[in-house]
Structure 1
Amino acid sequence: MRILFAGSPGIAVPSLEALSAMELAGEGIALAGILTNADSPKGRSGKPEPTDVSVAASGLDTARAEKGFPPIAQLKFEKLDAAAREAVAALKPDLLISFAYGKIFGPKFLGLFPLGGINIHPSLLPKYRGATPIPAAILNREKETGVSIQKLALEMDAGDILAQEKFPLSGNETTASLSEDAAQRSAELLASLTREFAALPKEALSKSALFQGKSQEGEPSCCSLIRKEDGHIDWKLSALEIDARVRAFTPWPLCFTAQEGQTLYILEGQPFEGPGSGGQTETKAAPGIVLGIDRGKGILVQTGDGVYAVSRLQWQAKKALDWKSFMNGARDFVGTLLG
């Protein structure tokens, strides 16, 4: 079974690595190639750089060559037009596997694959369809989330479920840490499912119950794209809500506030539950007031409901600091108003 893998960011890399490992181990699949976004300008230099998936594919080529396997063919297109379809068709793929590729697949494109396509999505579908399911789960303080593998459908993330794994959330995850966890779980789930696919002849696979999947159950919900300005902290929110936003917007766009005209990034913290936290709230200090410090938790800031303890922060264009180092250079910080 020849597979074209479509993906771009780092969360998709472990799944690509799992498929390559299966091919090298002789488990009945072949990587026909990868489809990834075109190189794009990054950093201050604006120099075009390849996607994480492209870099990973190049890195796999050495190990593949040592075992007599060809390098992974890389396809990069600005849009999936006739030229793109022609290039894909030349690879003669049977199945498309997609994970955070970044473009919509139309009917003509999906028609290139005799077995159609499947998609990996880091949520418990039909919950959080769309581009930002991991931040959405953190923002809504979910107690659990998961990864789903679905058949590709013309409606976004609406395909039948082929495999799904559920796991609990501790309440301390950031988008960065949860993405790493979901990436590994997705790769393991994909490898297990692909082995089952490869064990069947292609004709039998297309008709099997395994490949048909199950309809998504429950009320669908969607998540929206995140903008840089979404990181602005409204201190009138509760400490729990602010904590969720700080975690959800790490590593991007990061949460920020203002202090005497300067931008201040709030990188880490937690709702304050130490001695006197209730008393701090009862003072009815204005949201955003820096109340003081707690030697175990950090800089205490009043919110609309409760106190938030900041443990790591950063002035714009300066390096990130733990709260103690920060306070050494900001001795008049207590009593100021943020926001």
Structure 2
Amino acid sequence: MERGPERVLKVVFLGTSSFALPALKVLHDSNSVGLVVSRPDRPSGRGRKINRPPVAVLADQLGIPLLQPEKLRQIRDAVSEFSPDVMVSASYGGWLPEWFLSMAPLGVVNIHPSLLPAHRGAAPVIRTVLQGDTETGVCFMVTDKGWDTGDILQTIRYSLDGTETAGELEVKLADLAAKALPGVLKDYASGEIRPVPQSGMESYAEKVTSEEAVISWSLSSEEIVRAVLAFNPVPGARTMFHSKVLKIYRAEVSSFSGPPGVILETSPLVAGCGKGSVRLTEVQPQGKRVMSAEDYVRGYRIQRGAVLGEG
């Protein structure tokens, strides 16, 4: 296979969520993507409406051939016929078997939003925010048979200030990855960069459950604020209040102190924690829109002394 730097690589792109969109757009602009593979359309929400993956929607808009198999073996012939030089994956959400990894001479280059080997797994961005990391980044990894254990081609570091939501951080990391991707592929194909084994402290970012998003008011104010930021936008940090779910999307550490879960002030809206207190700034009452804490207090006549976390 030719590996000259001027050669346009033939790329198969695998992705599903919105994190992968900037990378797909960049590769499309370079005229290198000939095939997109995404997860099948799935029903979601209360109405079980069929939703298309964001990558599938974009592939259709860009006019790129799209495959959405239940099993990768269903597209083996199509990928083989395309004969890619390399495959690129970003938040695809499915296991890639060894036979599939070998279908391109340069393998599958995965875009992973953490500093590997830290936060391997399904929810690296949420776990980064929840843990209170001060630095994160994006790794370009040559996928192997393990879970995010492949050799690293390039790492891009990004400093955190502790105010980013997981949603905001994911957008930033996706953009950083997209800007670097063409250069990484070019240098990898030409031999300018070579894969190196991962090194450092390993950790695993397990998939988030809705139960984890229930706020424990016995935690410290710092821990609760991190949870609010980490679970924004999904699944949304939540607590019970007057027998209904109240989601909290923005919060910050406050200087007040008082019993855990008790509303200490209403202007601003402040609740006590196991240590310290938090100011709630953006909330969503059950069945209603996201609103400012000020609108919530005014519209729902919230009183001091009420207790969050109680039915």
Q: Please, what TM-score do these two structures have when normalized by structure 2?
A: 0.93
Question: Following the alignment from structure 2 to structure 1, what is the Cα–Cα distance between the partners of residues 98 and 192?
Answer: 23
Question: What amino acid is aligned across from residue 235 of structure 1 in structure 2?
Answer: W
Superposed displacement of residue 76, structure 1:
0.7
Per-residue CA deviations over 1:94-114 (Å, capped at 9, x if unaligned) read 211111101111111112212
Paired with 2:289 and 2:108, the residues of 1 have a C-alpha distance of 44
* Count of residues paired in the alignment: 301
* Structure index of larger Rg: 1
1:20 and 2:28 aligned: yes
Q: Is 1:256 matched up with 2:238?
A: yes
Q: Which runs of 5+ in 1 are unaligned?
A: 24-29, 62-71, 201-207
> Equivalent residue for 1:157?
148
After TM superposition, list the pairs within 5 Å mapping 1:1-339 onto structure 2.
1-23=9-31, 30-61=32-63, 72-81=64-73, 83-197=74-188, 200=190, 208=191, 210=193, 212-272=194-254, 277=255, 280-281=256-257, 285-294=258-267, 298-339=268-309
Contact 1:231–1:254 under 8 Å retained in 2: yes
Q: CA deviation at 1:329?
A: 2.4
Unaligned 5+ runs, structure 2: 1-8
After superposition, the Cα gap between the structure-2 partners of 1:332 and 1:20, relative to the gap in structure 1 and judged at 3 Å, is: closer
SS at match of 2:128: helix
Greater alpha carbon shift after TM alignment, 321-330 vs 163-172: 321-330
Report the Cα offset of residue 252 of structure 1: 0.6
Structure 1 residue matching 2:87: 3-state secondary structure = strand
1:266-322 Cα distance to aligned partner (Å, 9 max, x none): 1211001xxxx2xx42xxx3200000134xxx3010000111000111210012221
**Counterpart Cα distance in 1 of 2:141 and 2:302:** 55
- What is the distance in 2 between the residues matched to 1:111 and 1:122? 24
Q: Deviations over 1:130-183 (max 9, x none)?
A: 011101110111111100001111111111110111011011111110011011
Contact 2:229 / 2:250 at 8 angstroms: preserved in 1? yes
- Structure 1 residue identity aligned to 2:43: P
The two structures have a TM-score, normalised by structure 1, of: 0.85
Other structure's SS at 2:30 match? helix
Determine the C-alpha separation between the residues in 1 that align with 2:142 and 2:36.
18
Output the amino acid matched with 2:269. Answer: I
Partner residue in 2 for 1:67 = none
Task: Give the secondary-structure state (helix, strand or coil) at the position aligned to 1:114.
Answer: coil
The 1-side partners of 2:19 and 2:75 are apart by 24
Q: CA RMSD in A?
A: 1.4
1:14-44 CA distances to partner (integer Å, 9 max, x unpaired)?
Answer: 0011111112xxxxxx312011001111344
Q: Percent identity?
A: 32
- Contact 2:266 2:297 survives alignment (8 Å): no
Q: Partner of 1:213: helix, strand, or coil?
A: coil
- Superposition deviation, residue 11 in structure 1: 0.5
Contact kept, 8 Å, 1:163 with 1:189, in 2: the verdict is no
